[in-house]
Each structure stands twice: as structure tokens, then as C-alpha cells.
Structure 1
Amino acid sequence: MRILIVGAGATGGAFGTLLQEAGRDVTYLVRRPRAEALRRDGLRFISPSGDRTHSVQVRTADEPADAYDLILVTVKASALPSAIEDMRPAIGSSSTIVPVLNGMAHIDRLQEAFPGRVAGGMAKIVATLDAGAVRQLTQMSTITIGGLGERELSPAVAEALRVQGIDLSVSADVEGALWEKWMFIAAGAVATCLFRSPIGATIEAGGLPQILGAISELEAVAAAAGHPVSAAGHEQSIGLLTEPGSAFTTSLYRDLLAGLPTEAEHILGDLARRARELEIPTPLLDLTLIQVRADAIQRGHTAD
């Protein structure tokens, strides 16, 4: 199975290295500067199991390409529109596209662009880019996949992704799993971005009722959409987002604090839109969006 990984950032580089080390045929679709660096220096991967550099196969959007069997989309939401256009020559009649972004808006965009080719995917890994190298910070490295709607997932896709270093799960309800992760990420973003603080500081300042309120209102949206959060998922949110003294933050909060463009519209804006359609009130989510959007306006950032 020929695998194309769209993006060679922290997530794509980590999973791509693990797949390549298991003997899979892996190619990265990247922008020209990243392609030149990878061709020259290879891809360095630093993980709890070691530090290594591999020569890798790369291509850019302007280079000819045959269709790939499995396309793993690992870019940030802001890069998705351009990634969709860059991917088009690589999509064939038997290709399967597995995005591992957070939220659900990307599923709609990909299905519109490539009907019948999109499967559900979700990843959990703590990794970052460090001077061009991919650094995996913890042992956690999971991918959950599954078919969407009436389309069943080919067993060959699961076989291709089942390698050492990746804890792979095939879910009968991957859409429900995506919604559950989305509600946790969104609740964490509201709790940290609205108060511009880690969880522990917000709780110390008296914000515990608001954190609980955010969890409640967002889970109400998921339930109304037909994807109620499980008891285990709810308890995970409560446990991680209400711990006194916790230094927990979210990537959206960290990007906001650093003055970087964020995935706020993809994670929070799309959720607020769905809440309005379902007539579910989300006052804390709405306040967070106003603050994040106002910050983006002042910094001259465009919506993702």
C-alpha cells in the first residue's frame, strides 16, 4: 500500500517515521522549502525510544504523481483548503483519505472535495517541531480509524497502520469518537482562552463553576447532534479540567498567548454554528469566540 502523508510537521513526521520504520512505503506531500530541507537533511525523529534520522520520499504539489492508496492528512485546519488542492492529483478511484485533525468541519470539506473517499480518523500524540526535527514528548501514540456513514473501512487500511509504536484502534463509531474528543478540546479551549490562564489558576480565582458550565453546555450540543458524550468521556473532562493547581492548557490557548494564528474557527466557531442550528445556548463558548476573534482582528490574522 502506497501511503501519502500530507504534511511533515510534528504529527505527520512522527507517524510517518514509525510507518517507514515498519517497512511501509511512505511519501510526504509538503511545501517546497520543507521538501528541500527533507531531501537535503532527511527527517530527524527524536522519541522516548531514541534519536534517528531517515532519508525520506517527498513530493510537492507541482510535481507529477500517481494515485496513492492511503492519504493521511496531518496538517492544521488553516492549511486544509490549500492541502485539498495539493492532494487532488494523488487521489484515485481506490484511494482512502484518513484525516487526523480535531473537530468535524474538515470531514465536511474533504467529503465535499472527494466524495466516497474519506474515512474517520483521530490521533493522540504529544509531539512538536524542534529546529526542523520532530520530537515526540511522551510514549502516547494512538490512531483511531473507522468508516463514515455507509462506507466501510477497508481492512487493508488498518493493516497498513498497524505497526510498532502506533496503538491502532478500529472504531464502529468513529464519528462519535471524533465528537467526544472535540467536546473535550473545545471545553479545554473555553476554560483556558476565556480566562487566559491554566486550569489551576482559573479554579483558584473562583472559575470552577464556569468550567463546569462550559463542559455542560458543549456536551449538550453533542447530545443534540446525536453524538452524546459517554460517561467515561465526561469523567475524563471533569478529571482533567477541574484539578486544583493544574498547569493544563490547550494548544489553542498557547497559540493565542504567543500571538499566532489559531484554529479557533475550526474548533470553536464551527461548534458555535452547529449549536445555533440546533438551538442550544452556549454563552461561555460565545464569549470565548468574541475574545479570540477580537484578538485576531487586532493582530491582523484572518479566520482559518
Structure 2
Amino acid sequence: MKILILGAGAIGGYFGARLQQAGADVTFLVRSRRAAQLAEHGLAVRSPFGDFDVQPRWVEATAVREPYDLVLLTCKAYDLDGALEAIAPAMGPSTHVLPLLNGLSHLDRLAQVFGAERVVGGCCSIPVTLGPKGEVLHLAKMHRIAFGPLPGTSPDARAKLEQLHGFLSKTPVDSVLVDDMRQEMWEKFVGLCTLAAMTCLMRAAVGDIVSSEEGTALMTEALDACAGTATANGHPPREAAMGGFRRMLFDPASAGMASMLRDLEGGHRTEGRHVVADMLHRARAAGVDPGPLRAAWCHLESHELRARREARSTE
């Protein structure tokens, strides 16, 4: 099975390197700057599970000439349109695409462009970033990836996903082949949106928020809004997932925060529109009280609008 991974950044680089470590046929689709880094340094992974290096095979967008069996999308949600254009030459009549993007809205766009039968579901949870030389820095022991067919996915995807799972099973990665992938994605959406909405709105870590006078009540309202929206859409979070969210979101000693907050405070683009705003709109459509999601999206969108205005004023 030939696998193409869009990007060799933190997430694509980590899971792609693990797949290559297990013997999979992996090619990275990268921009010229990343290609130069890979040529000079290779692909290095620094992980609590052991450091390792691989010599990756890569291709730039203009050089993609043939279809692959499976394409992994690991871009930010706001880069989706550019990513679709980049992988189009790799999408043959039997190619499947596995996105590891946050949220749910990308699934409709992928189905629109490539057909629902070519789209499988995926999500991951991993604290990872890139170092100064492009090395992948795995920051903690969490590295879970889940994938599986969606209701419209063609049956021939199953064999590819089983092969993918087989490769990852040879590595330390917590890999799960899921039968009900939409349930899995909704559960991640609930936890991620609550964390992102509240830490961005308050500009604080989880422990700081729930230690404040109104923090626990507001965190509860946000979680209830997200879980209620999932339930109204036919995917009530299972108790195991809700228990994990409560441990993550109500720990007064936690310094945890969403990567979206780091992007916000760093002056970078955020996925607020694709996570917080999308959940807010789905809550309203389902008649669910969105609670603090309204203020969180107002905060994020106002930041976006101010950044655009100030950028125009300097032109």
C-alpha cells in the first residue's frame, strides 16, 4: 500500500515517521522549505517512547504524478482548500483520503470534492511540535490515533485501514480501528471545543479557570452545550469519554490549555471558526443553549477582525 502524507509537520511528521519505522511505504508531500530541511537533517523524532531518525522520501506538489492508495491529510483546518488542490493529482479512482483535522466540517468538503466513498474518518490526540531544525518533538506520552470508515465510505477502504492499523501496531502508538468513526469524531469535537472555547475565552489554563469563583460553573455550561449538541445530532458522548473530559477540564492543578490559545496569544491564525464557531452554529440549529460558546466565538472572531484591520492599515 502506497501512503502519501500531506505535510511533514508535527502531526504528519510524527505519524509518518512511525509508519516508516514499521516498514510502510510512505511519501511526504511537502513545500520547498520543508524539503530542504528533510534533505539536510532527515526526519528526527524526539519522544518519551524513544528517539529515532528516518530518511524520508518526499515530493513537492508539482512533482505528484501518480495516484496513491491512501492519503493522510494533516493540515490545519483553515488550509483545507490549498491541501485539496495539492493532493488532487494523487487521488486516483480507488484512492482513499484520511483527514486528521480538528472538527467535523471538513468531511462535507472532502466528500464534495472527491466523493463520499473516498473519504474515511480520522482523529488524533498528541502534544507535538517542531524544533528549530524541523525535528518532531513529542512532548508527552499521549499519541493516540483513531480511524475508520464513515457511512458513505466504499467497502474497499477496510483492507487499507487494516493494513494501516497493522503497521501502527508495530510501534508504541495507541492506534484504534473504529467501526463507528462519527461517534469517535463527535466525542473528540466535544472535548476539544470545550477546552478551546474556555481557555481562549479566559486566556488561562484549565486550573486557573476552575479555581476562579465562576470558572467551574462556566466550564460546566460549556461542556453541557457541546455534549448536548452532540446528543442532539445523534451522537451522545459515552460515559468513558465524558469521564475523561471531566478529569481534563476540572482539575484545579492542571496547566493544560488548547493549542488554539497558544496560536491566539502568538498572533497566529486559529481554527476557532472550524471548532468553536462550528459547534456554536450546530448548537443553535439543534435548539441547544450554547452557553459560553457565544462569548468564546465573539472573542476569537473579534481577534481575527482586529488583526485583518490592523494588517490593512499597514499596507
Shorter-chain TM band: over 0.9
Structure 1 residue 182, shift from structure 2 partner: 0.5
Classify the secondary structure of the residue corresponding to 2:124.
Answer: strand
**Hey, what does 1:170 align to over in structure 2?**
177
**Hey, what does 2:147 align to over in structure 1?**
145
Greater percentage in strand: 1
Structure 1 residue 79, shift from structure 2 partner: 1.5
Residue 232 to residue 49, structure 1, CA distance change in 2 (3 Å): closer
**Hey, what does 1:37 align to over in structure 2?**
37
Residue 185 to residue 198, structure 1, CA distance change in 2 (3 Å): same
Q: Partners of 1:281 and 1:216 in 2: how far apart?
A: 9
**Hey, what does 1:60 align to over in structure 2?**
60
CA RMSD of aligned residues (A): 1.7
Residue 114 to residue 289, structure 1, CA distance change in 2 (3 Å): same
Give yes or no for contact 1:148–1:174 (8 Å, CA) kept in 2: yes
**Hey, what does 1:121 align to over in structure 2?**
122
Structure 1 residue 11, shift from structure 2 partner: 0.7
Give yes or no for contact 2:98–2:121 (8 Å, CA) kept in 1: yes
Percent same amino acid at aligned positions?
35
Give yes or no for contact 2:148–2:161 (8 Å, CA) kept in 1: no
Alignment of 1:1-304 (within 5 A): 1-115=1-115, 116-131=117-132, 132-151=134-153, 152=155, 153-162=157-166, 163=168, 164-206=171-213, 207-300=215-308
Worse overlay, 293-302 or 111-120? 293-302
Aligned pairs, number: 302
Structure 1 residue 165, shift from structure 2 partner: 2.5
Q: Partners of 2:45 and 2:253 in 1: how far apart?
A: 33
Structure 1 residue 192, shift from structure 2 partner: 1.0
Partner amino acid, structure 1, of 2:28: Y
* 1:71-118 deviation per Cα after TM superposition (whole angstroms, max 9, x unaligned): 111111122110000000000111111111121011111111110100
Contiguous gaps of at least 5 residues in structure 2: 311-315
Greater percentage in helix: 2
Structure 1 residue 150, shift from structure 2 partner: 4.0
Structure 1 residue 301, shift from structure 2 partner: 8.4
**Hey, what does 2:313 align to over in structure 1?**
none
Structure 1 residue 189, shift from structure 2 partner: 1.3
Structure 1 residue 209, shift from structure 2 partner: 0.5
Worse overlay, 66-75 or 197-206? 197-206
Residue 149 to residue 301, structure 1, CA distance change in 2 (3 Å): farther
What's the TM-score, normalizing by structure 2?
A: 0.91
Partner amino acid, structure 2, of 1:127: V
Contiguous gaps of at least 5 residues in structure 1: none
Q: Partners of 2:300 and 2:240 in 1: how far apart?
A: 30
Residue 291 to residue 100, structure 1, CA distance change in 2 (3 Å): same
Worse overlay, 220-229 or 158-167? 158-167
Give yes or no for contact 1:39–1:58 (8 Å, CA) kept in 2: no
* 1:151-208 deviation per Cα after TM superposition (whole angstroms, max 9, x unaligned): 3442232213423222221111110110001000101112211111111112222111
* 1:198-251 deviation per Cα after TM superposition (whole angstroms, max 9, x unaligned): 111122221111111111111111111111111111121112111123212111
What's the TM-score, normalizing by structure 1?
A: 0.94
Partner amino acid, structure 2, of 1:122: C
Q: Partners of 2:210 and 2:175 in 1: how far apart?
A: 35
